[in-house]
Structure 1
């Protein structure tokens, strides 16, 4: 009962003890309290009650009862880090018990072996226990044993064997009322899905397990450890670190299991390293190593030492001692049969290469490269990274490119199993090293065309296929409706000066629920079979247009100028300096949005000149005079390109990738030419351009006031030829998929746009912050604009900085005048800037808007 209904079992045990029970009954009651405290509470109290249970069992003269209590006590001692005492107690339990009881003790000793990382011993004990439990007709303990054996198989990489045991256990659980064990089975299924490479299913199953545990009121430390592993594989390392640290805090607060704390520290260390925080990773991994060593958990200690060595390397350490440490860990992991061994060999080889120890590096990399032939996607990625480094050390650019191509193909296949745009984007971080190795090989020996191909290979890949359409899930739809209502109420309360903490808490809860459900989506689209071709790009550019792609290699900007049938390369400045200058420009534009700041205009223009030198360098003199397309890296998404002197009077558009621009170029406008004009609430000018545009277009659909609700706006936007939305934009750096446009009934968010069958062919977003993005993964962008591009939008005009609302109105009217004359968005925006008054406010407003795409 302690696992079927934990709180009731605890209360029942206390009632038994309050009634002066017989020794046998007192032993059972203390054992129940000990189990509850061991798994859900204070481990020190657990040990106190379990020792009393052992003493009462001895008084009762029952060897079977004593054996059972010794097994429970042994598990608790192991979790407390007293490994030798715990295994001794379990050994005595095996000796004291017989038949059915002995099989239960063997199961618990197998569990303890698994906790300690002794997987072969765990398999031996559980294999001895299962036949006896089955013969006794003990459904619950047989299911537990099968679940444990499956989990051990997973640790050893035997996914098929694990799946068979999980299936058998699940059939048994369906016949019982063991709710905690059922939740544990769902959790274990999530782990199995992850090991098989199905991240969405893993997240869904782990969330389901969490809901089941919540109904029982039990802590979920093991679940947190497993979710951290899945989150890291999905590119959500910062979230994994936050979850691990929060779980550690709760565990410390209740005096919980020392073994779980060590595992959570290891998860936090791995997450911190992947999140680019090597110092936190070193701190957490060092603590984990010490705890695992005290607990005599060699398997876990070896994994913690691997993360510690990786963190030290990431912090800039390079030495023969570090190579030796990585090699030693690799040997330990191999001896333990751990699937992580190739990662350690790759690390040893990488450090040896950096130190110029070619022969030593080859030995380690050759072992790591074997994993490229099989196993989960990320394991194969490790193998191909090792193979690419081997080829580079051997001086074979061709070998480097082949290994990088094969490795990124593996990641492509994995990425397309993910339905959520956010996961697809973040997963690309796993391929960043391979993409960089390929670009470096091209820079050294391949010429500018090949460098362009590899710059495109891993740039803005999330836009290569439409996102998986969110399911018609009633819970998801009602959650999004509730989210809009709460967000609208919170905004209204802020404007009226009323407190909003409760509303904000509910808003965050709904955001977590919506995001969770969207992350569960499995990908439906196949990988992009239409690989980027330089010749096709050059033909579409023709004799007049130029495309400039900025690649970043070793921190420096490489400018690839594509025009008139050729690709040329120029070297510009440092990316970090350009990022700093771009932030200065953004700050200047913010100030110029307010009248009276005209004195700052020369400073902003001077910053624009410096930015041009850093981003274009000598290429600025080779851009021709026709239309220009800029393809910047994700980290430069906020550059106001029209401010750069040589681009100021150009027909200029921006695209996340050359491939994205080609797709936009090929996009056919929808039939009918339908126009939609939307005016949201709370605008300083009241969206003054919308009534004038309505008169100009005549038959346009106008949505304003009570008509500008999210469902109505989405219905009208779907398949429109042109949409103009005058609504407050809000960018969410902490959750880019919740970046929004404010409608009458609440925010229209990125998740809403992804429900469109086809987004408008052209869309103009006339308010602040609509062209801001979050740069994630290898070189991906998440935001309002990038949500539209894969869904059929060929061109967008949006704003990357705060602007003066009044100055926006004449810009928008001039822009639409150009569109009415048959111009493209980029041509119309160029002419609209030129038509504005020459004062600082209007100039800054014009620079802040950018045309994206090719329409």
Structure 2
């Protein structure tokens, strides 16, 4: 019997509402989707029995299935399952696969992962036979998510590839974006952070155009990736910007996952109170959704925070063990393993070593995450240490660090390479503690080197500049120039400052997507370092801390010993006071009484530093040249100003391995000299003019000729490069520390674009010798960027420097270089006449 036009119009309208509802669901807006789906059902007469036409029954079935998913997404799990259960009378045989897809989706959303994968497995062949390609693409995408939860990366990627292909053929643009999203999550699980971020970037482009509600969900994944790379502060910024976006979307599962991730970030930065609050909030939301699997993960995160904060130490072992059993029963083996490790830590904290060992006897799963594997190495090392078994401590700590080094070698970004050091800090500390207990100099040296500046061992990668990044850097230069002009006029341009910060974030995020070579250099051993020290007539002082006490490892031709030094808080405060005094003295001439008072204060701080850092070393130091390996705040010490070191060549290096590698590197054939004078620096042009007499064949860039591109072109592979320019150390954005040139700033970021590193760079003004020191004594800043790129020697200032004084010091320095003096010797001699010049020789000396 033919249908009436009115009936056909009703069906067409209901189909349109179904399409809108699905579109809203796929865009991450379940509340909006549910409204359209309910409207479609009302048009078809639901909840009354479906009409006589098969088309009405099938459409009612599909509307109910989609509405069920929307209800569960909004946290109404019972109602969602009830709606789906009510479709039994409507279903035709060819729709059995669709029903299994819908049930699997609901099971996934409520954390019943084992049931979900069975439902998807059963759905796939039915959908293939029925020719339901749209439903098949969605089933494969959701099954990939289940595989990912279980740590099964390969089958997940296979499902994602097939889903993406089907989605492209069918024009399902949001589904394609979700495939990229899923691929990124899988790559993150496999430890490929750059690859994950590239995939997330592709997903973001698709979501921005077609599913903006999914952008907040994607931000959670990006935050997890940054957390996995040790960039917890950046992860917090990404997630804090996204969290308010969940309001009004109705995506309660995703919102709870975001809150849980925020708890994990807070735990990583040591904010245990915030971690506890976020984890409790996430757990409540999961429980309201009846999602017991995720609620258990949130409970584990809260327990970790409470234990780290010193609370629940007595009960933590039992609670963690119970959580491990529950998580394993829910199919979350990785999280169960993390709970077992927490139980072991709790036992160790109470001296119950055998019970701790019992908790880690189980072999780790093949799909364990990197952080879980590293924690297992830490716990086993601590157990061995508690038993006095130092060889086993070294074995477990070294195995974890080897795994971390392999992970780091796949990062091309210096930002990520230095950030990931946080993941190995406890392993390095366990090994160093055991080495100090053993007391053998070679063993202590080995673990000191394990614990610092590991990013320098990764092979340098030159990132390719995509058009968007090139444009962003160009805009940043222009805006920075505008902002600098405003500062010189005594005003601030907040609009330009905000845009600069936004561009810096964009450029950094793009750099994170660069993959590494997978290779890293070997670490130096004490014997080879001592041989090189003897050949150079040099001694090494490598500083480290034990609690709040500073120690030094002293090595030379005839000595290798550990010396206890002074108090770290006292030294840290003294460095800050000294830097402040030097900054004041670098500016305009002060009234004589004030000038004298500041100089007296500076001399006092130099005395404090000498007492705490050098006085105990006097019997062993002799008069040899020195290589200093600083730790933490000691990277900011102007060593040549200390009375014991006046006139002595001192070279500062991030590690003994870095120093030895620079010494052994083949000297490049003689190359050109570059002399650059930046703008707004009173004596810069005079300084370059005087130096040009020493290097008559050198290239000079002065005035309008001193542009960024000209400087980069000339800097690439040159022998000596001297910059007399204003510099700015950006404490909160070190990759954008800069030198001011005629058309804008030369950024630390630009250094990584060089094809060949300059041999020797002198940064003759301001304070671009400052560094930010991350966990593991990883350095970031303009000077560090040059050293990472392969520059053998950098001379720069760790505090502001008087421009007039710089001219005389630099002229004397370059004359000594021209006579054949080594950089460290040339600097020691040149600064003798200027007792408060905070220049430091970094690198090989």
Q: TM-score of the superposition, structure 1-length normalised?
A: 0.92
Structure-to-structure mapping, 1:14-163, within 5 angstroms: 23-35=10-22, 38=25, 40=27, 44=31, 46-57=33-44, 58=46, 61=51, 62-94=56-88, 96-163=90-157
User: Does structure 1 retain, via aligned residues, the 8 Å contact 2:20–2:33?
Assistant: yes
User: Does structure 1 retain, via aligned residues, the 8 Å contact 2:463–2:753?
Assistant: yes
Query: Which residue of structure 2 lines up, in the alignment, with residue 293 of structure 1?
Result: 287
User: Aligned in 2, Cα 1:73/1:690: closer, same or farther, shift over 3 Å?
Assistant: same
Distance 1:78 1:652 in 2: 66
CA shift, 1:31, in A, is 4.1
CA shift, 1:333, in A, is 1.9
CA shift, 1:472, in A, is 5.3
Task: Name the SS for the 1:793 alignment partner.
Answer: coil
Query: Which residue of structure 1 lines up, in the alignment, with residue 444 of structure 2?
Result: 451
Query: Which residue of structure 1 lines up, in the alignment, with residue 534 of structure 2?
Result: 542
Please give the per-residue CA displacement for 1:503-545, whole angstroms capped at 9, x wherever unaligned. Answer: 34443343333223221111125122x3311011111111842
CA shift, 1:126, in A, is 1.2
Please give the per-residue CA displacement for 1:712-759, whole angstroms capped at 9, x wherever unaligned. Answer: 212212222211111111122222111111122211112211122322
Task: Name the SS for the 1:546 alignment partner.
Answer: strand
Task: Name the SS for the 1:526 alignment partner.
Answer: coil
CA shift, 1:797, in A, is 0.7
Distance 1:44 1:187 in 2: 22
Distance 1:56 1:244 in 2: 41
Query: Which residue of structure 2 lines up, in the alignment, with residue 533 of structure 1?
Result: 525
Query: Which residue of structure 1 lines up, in the alignment, with residue 652 of structure 2?
Result: 654
User: Does structure 2 retain, via aligned residues, the 8 Å contact 1:94–1:106?
Assistant: no
Query: Which residue of structure 2 lines up, in the alignment, with residue 414 of structure 1?
Result: 407
Query: Which residue of structure 2 lines up, in the alignment, with residue 317 of structure 1?
Result: 311
User: Does structure 2 retain, via aligned residues, the 8 Å contact 1:372–1:384?
Assistant: no
Please give the per-residue CA displacement for 1:795-838, whole angstroms capped at 9, x wherever unaligned. Answer: 111011122222222221222222223222221221122123xx
Distance 1:331 1:576 in 2: 44
Structure-to-structure mapping, 1:826-841, within 5 angstroms: 826-836=824-834
User: Does structure 2 retain, via aligned residues, the 8 Å contact 1:655–1:661?
Assistant: yes
CA shift, 1:26, in A, is 4.7
CA shift, 1:436, in A, is 0.4
Task: Name the SS for the 1:333 alignment partner.
Answer: helix
Distance 1:672 1:359 in 2: 63
User: Does structure 2 retain, via aligned residues, the 8 Å contact 1:466–1:790?
Assistant: no
Residue 576 of structure 2 is aligned to residue 583 of structure 1: yes
User: Does structure 1 retain, via aligned residues, the 8 Å contact 2:671–2:717?
Assistant: no
Query: Which residue of structure 1 lines up, in the alignment, with residue 423 of structure 2?
Result: 430
Match of 1:389 among 382, 391, 397: 382
Structure-to-structure mapping, 1:335-350, within 5 angstroms: 335-338=329-332, 339-350=334-345
CA shift, 1:47, in A, is 4.2
CA shift, 1:373, in A, is 6.5
Distance 2:604 2:7 in 1: 87
Stretch moving more, 431-440 or 741-750: 741-750
Distance 1:157 1:665 in 2: 45
CA shift, 1:225, in A, is 2.0
Query: Which residue of structure 2 lines up, in the alignment, with residue 783 of structure 1?
Result: 781
Distance 1:80 1:244 in 2: 21
User: Aligned in 2, Cα 1:766/1:618: closer, same or farther, shift over 3 Å?
Assistant: same
Task: Name the SS for the 2:753 alignment partner.
Answer: coil
Stretch moving more, 540-549 or 225-234: 540-549
Task: Name the SS for the 2:676 alignment partner.
Answer: strand
Residue 722 of structure 2 is aligned to residue 735 of structure 1: no
User: Does structure 1 retain, via aligned residues, the 8 Å contact 2:685–2:702?
Assistant: no
Match of 1:351 among 332, 346, 351: 346
User: Does structure 1 retain, via aligned residues, the 8 Å contact 2:586–2:801?
Assistant: yes
Q: State the Cα RMSD in Å.
A: 2.4
Distance 1:123 1:719 in 2: 57
User: Does structure 1 retain, via aligned residues, the 8 Å contact 2:462–2:753?
Assistant: yes
Stretch moving more, 272-281 or 86-95: 86-95
Match of 2:360 among 365, 368, 385: 365
Distance 2:366 2:139 in 1: 32
Q: How many residues align?
A: 825
In structure 2, stretches of 5+ residues that fail to align are 1-5
Distance 1:474 1:40 in 2: 29
Query: Which residue of structure 1 lines up, in the alignment, with residue 771 of structure 2?
Result: 773
Distance 2:448 2:195 in 1: 32
Please give the per-residue CA displacement for 1:312-367, whole angstroms capped at 9, x wherever unaligned. Answer: 22223352212222222222222222222222211211121011122221121223
Task: Name the SS for the 1:834 alignment partner.
Answer: coil
User: Does structure 2 retain, via aligned residues, the 8 Å contact 1:667–1:792?
Assistant: no
Query: Which residue of structure 2 lines up, in the alignment, with residue 756 of structure 1?
Result: 754
In structure 1, stretches of 5+ residues that fail to align are 1-18, 837-842
User: Does structure 1 retain, via aligned residues, the 8 Å contact 2:678–2:706?
Assistant: yes
User: Aligned in 2, Cα 1:507/1:100: closer, same or farther, shift over 3 Å?
Assistant: farther
Structure-to-structure mapping, 1:340-739, within 5 angstroms: 340-367=335-362, 370-371=363-364, 375-471=368-464, 473-496=466-489, 500-524=493-517, 526-528=519-521, 530-542=522-534, 544-594=537-587, 595-596=589-590, 597-616=595-614, 618-739=616-737
Distance 2:290 2:410 in 1: 39
User: Does structure 2 retain, via aligned residues, the 8 Å contact 1:710–1:747?
Assistant: yes
Distance 1:458 1:415 in 2: 14
User: Does structure 1 retain, via aligned residues, the 8 Å contact 2:459–2:517?
Assistant: no
Task: Name the SS for the 2:242 alignment partner.
Answer: helix
Structure-to-structure mapping, 1:243-282, within 5 angstroms: 243-252=238-247, 254-282=248-276
User: Does structure 2 retain, via aligned residues, the 8 Å contact 1:559–1:616?
Assistant: no
Query: Which residue of structure 2 lines up, in the alignment, with residue 3 of structure 1?
Result: none
Residue 192 of structure 2 is aligned to residue 194 of structure 1: no
CA shift, 1:617, in A, is 5.9
Task: Name the SS for the 2:121 alignment partner.
Answer: helix
CA shift, 1:635, in A, is 3.8
CA shift, 1:89, in A, is 1.9
Distance 1:386 1:227 in 2: 29
User: Aligned in 2, Cα 1:610/1:791: closer, same or farther, shift over 3 Å?
Assistant: same
Task: Name the SS for the 2:566 alignment partner.
Answer: strand
Please give the per-residue CA displacement for 1:22-65, whole angstroms capped at 9, x wherever unaligned. Answer: 55445444445544555657655554444443333325533333
User: Aligned in 2, Cα 1:333/1:243: closer, same or farther, shift over 3 Å?
Assistant: same
Distance 2:10 2:365 in 1: 60
Q: TM-score of the superposition, structure 2-length normalised?
A: 0.93
Query: Which residue of structure 2 lines up, in the alignment, with residue 807 of structure 1?
Result: 805
Task: Name the SS for the 1:542 alignment partner.
Answer: helix
Stretch moving more, 623-632 or 472-481: 472-481
Please give the per-residue CA displacement for 1:142-174, whole angstroms capped at 9, x wherever unaligned. Answer: 111111111101110111211221222222122
User: Aligned in 2, Cα 1:777/1:71: closer, same or farther, shift over 3 Å?
Assistant: farther
Query: Which residue of structure 1 lines up, in the alignment, with residue 792 of structure 2?
Result: 794
User: Aligned in 2, Cα 1:547/1:167: closer, same or farther, shift over 3 Å?
Assistant: same
Query: Which residue of structure 2 lines up, in the alignment, with residue 14 of structure 1?
Result: none
Query: Which residue of structure 1 lines up, in the alignment, with residue 235 of structure 2?
Result: 240
Stretch moving more, 32-41 or 770-779: 32-41
Query: Which residue of structure 1 lines up, in the alignment, with residue 3 of structure 2?
Result: none
Residue 158 of structure 2 is aligned to residue 164 of structure 1: yes
User: Does structure 2 retain, via aligned residues, the 8 Å contact 1:670–1:720?
Assistant: no
